[in-house]
Amino acid sequence: MITIPYLTAVSTYFSYGLLFAFGQLRDYSRRIFDWWSTNNLHGYAPICLAHEDFYIRRLYHRIQDCFGRPISSAPDAWVDVVERFSNDNNKTLKRTTKSTRCLNLGSYNYLGFGSYDEYCTPLVIESLKKFSPSTCSSRVDAGTTSVHAELEECVAKYVGKPAAIVTGMGYATNSAIIPVLIGKGGLIISDSLNHTSIVNGARGSGATIRVFQHNTPAHLERVLKEQIAEGQPRTHRPWKKIIVVVEGIYSMEGEICQLPEIVSICKKYKAYVYLDEAHSIGAIGKTGRGVCELLGVDTADVDIMMGTFTKSFGSCGGYIAGSKDLIQYLKYHCPAHLYATSISTPSAQQIISAIKVILGEDGSNRGAQKLARIRENSNFFRAELQKMGFEVLGDNDSPVMPIMLYNPAKIPAFSRECLRENVAVVVVGFPATPLLLARARICISASHSREDLLKALQVISKAGDLTGIKYFPAAPKKQEEEKDTIKLD
Amino acid sequence: MYVRALPTTDVNRNTEWFTYPGVWTTYIIIIFFSWLLVLSVFHCSPGMAWTIVHLAHFTVTYHSFHWKKGTPFGDDQGIYNRLTWWEQIDNGKQLTRNRKFLTVVPIVLYLIASHTTDYQHPMLFLNTLAVFVMVVMKFPHMHKVRIFGINGDQ
């Protein structure tokens, strides 16, 4: 639940109104200017419609230097951020050869596998020499190696399902699998804050899409009842299939899904559950098995479990885990399996080695240490930020913590101020979040040490004071009160 | 003073910003400040200023709510390209609180403008014409109606 000070809401709308008005003015003068100047593009249709491009040209490009910063080292706890400069007011940015070493609070490097690892990297290099960087073919042609077969078994066992299928790209896992599972005549009920890959897959499937209020099982039940009673649009026949799509951790809120209630509602109304664990697999739960382990949900109750390897495992690609029949069906029908290039073999080896480290099968307890450290780090950081008076979203134990900014001008201000102090944060604004709710998203990693976190807290506090985002009163300092009472004695 | 922002179920990013708290207040504040601006720039009577604000409000809202179609984002893939902003809000549902508020504002502006100009012509005629067109455009029966093909698709 996001609590906004009323004045901030009003001033944010006003700022966006001003930016919109100035953007329209500039577009208008640009149109007059272009009408006067000659060009030899007579008869050519425009590449994109002027109004579709408005947001990118007039709002995003003005603060482009805060997004898409190139890095020149592995995304570990500290990363080299390449410096850029612009000669035309941020319309184009040019890279320099210099880079600054910054504390990395933006990578999804939850377990610290993002850079050299003493167990995984030698095995990956060996596999690179043995198998070559790419298989250069789809899974059904010549793209299945022994490593791929081992990976699918390994993932299925880790997640707790009978079988799994792995694809080369995490986004494509959602957008290519959902159209295979459901088609016209089916119903997809998805959470209102689901990721774009799910929205794209749902739109591409041809099924009817309904949305329920974020993480509210009561509203899901109401939508399900309504839709089952009404049936398909126009014909009112019963639905062929109903799939409810939820995510484990919502990447923009840091909230954990209320899985037990949602699963019980879906069982009651006989709908399938599709769980997207992109951010939660490997990061939460006692052995890192994701939100099912954390909330005590039996994996047999969740019909389709999807996840990606880009976050906690330091690799690429995504997987779907389910019953043997489901995976067999997907292997025969899914375009990501039949036509797309298979996941590169060294990346697959990285995932297998990372899973072995997490489970402790490499002979050390580094996995358990990493899981304990990320939980400790997230809880400590979140508690400290809340004590300073920031509005931080997300549940306890979740390594994703968005700090609310709201005003559009605070987005570049916060980002640039942090970069000046050598802390790299990711800020998110309008299309990815609702208009009012711009935020800076912090992702904690197991490779952050206590000193790193303290430095980050100090820099964020200073930037927060300068930009005025401490919307809640700071917690009073208890230690000084205790010292006073001791002195009196 | 804090308000709670509940996440909405509106997937259309062009219109979901209107469902959060604080929009109505911002709208009214912008209208009030534009009246003050007109008063200070043109040095006219308050009634004349309200008439100017009313007619400018009519022009701006006609253009942005009922003329411009589609969304300013490319990745909506043109699903809303035939719908004006008024037809897009609240997912096309009629007679919601937002729509009622947006219908009442021009009427209240009309009442203030006519009262402060003492119902004299020619201001009364222009104001009445503006409010008549405004209110008729917002009727539920006018949803997706294009009279004489004005603003229709190519």
- Of residues A1, A10, A434, nearest to B17 (C-beta): A434
- DSSP annotation of A66 reads G
- Say if strands A423-424 and A304-308 run parallel, antiparallel, or are unpaired: unpaired
Residues of A whose CB is below 8 A from B8: 192, 213, 434
Determine whether the interchain pair B29/A14 forms a contact, defined as Cβ–Cβ distance below 8 Å: yes
Which residue from B3, B8, B11 is facing A9, i.e. has the nearest CB? B3
Q: State the Cα–Cα distance between residues A175 and A178, nearest whole angstrom.
A: 6
Which member of A211, A213, A431 has the closest CB to residue B73?
A431
Q: In 3D, which of A88, A114, A442 has the Cα closest to residue A309?
A: A114
Q: Note the pLDDT of residue B154.
A: 64
What six digits make up the tokens of A263? 């699963």
Q: How high is the pLDDT of residue B68?
A: 86
Which of B5, B6, B26 comes nearest A10 by C-beta? B26
Residues B18-75: pLDDT tens digits?
888 888 999 999 999 999 999 999 888 888 999 999 999 999 999 888 888 888 777 7
Q: What is the pLDDT of residues B79-99, one digit of tens each?
A: 888 889 999 888 888 888 999
ipTM here: 0.87
| pLDDT of B52 | 92
Q: Concatenated DSSP letters for chain B?
A: -EEEEPPPS---TTTGGGGSTTHHHHHHHHHHHHHHHHHHHH---HHHHHHHHHHHHHHHHIIIIII-BS-S-GGGTTTTTT-BHHHHGGGG-SS-HHHHHHHHHHHHHHHHHHHHTTT-TTHHHHHHHHHHHHHHHTSGGGTT--GGGTT---
Q: What is the token pair recorded at A313?
A: 């495992």
Kindly list the residues from chain B whose CB atom is less than 8 angstroms away from the CB atom of residue A435: 13, 16-17, 20
Whole-number Å distance between alpha carbons of A440 and A97:
27
Predicted confidence at residue A481, as pLDDT, reads 47
**CB contact (8 A) between residue B17 and residue A436:** yes
Query: What residues of chain A lie within 8 A of the CB of B71, using their CB?
Result: 52
**Whole-angstrom Cα distance, residue A284 to residue A293?**
8
CA-based nearest distance B128→chain A, Å? 27
Residuewise pLDDT in 10s, chain A (489 residues): 788 888 898 999 999 989 989 998 999 998 888 888 877 777 888 887 777 788 888 889 999 999 989 999 999 899 999 999 999 888 899 999 999 999 999 998 899 898 888 999 999 999 999 998 999 999 999 989 999 999 999 999 999 999 999 999 999 999 999 999 999 999 999 998 899 899 999 999 999 999 999 989 999 999 999 999 999 998 999 999 999 999 999 988 888 999 999 999 999 999 999 999 999 998 888 888 999 999 999 999 999 999 999 998 989 999 999 999 999 999 999 999 999 999 999 999 999 999 999 998 888 888 999 999 999 999 999 999 999 999 998 888 889 999 999 999 999 999 999 999 999 999 998 878 888 889 999 999 999 999 999 999 999 999 999 998 988 888 876 654 444 444 444
CB atoms A17 and B26 under 8 Å: yes
Establish if B119 touches chain A: CB-CB under 8 angstroms.
no
Identify the H or E element spanning A199: helix A196-205
- d(CA A414, CA A460) in angstroms, rounded, equals 9
Chain-centre distance of CA A354, in angstroms? 20
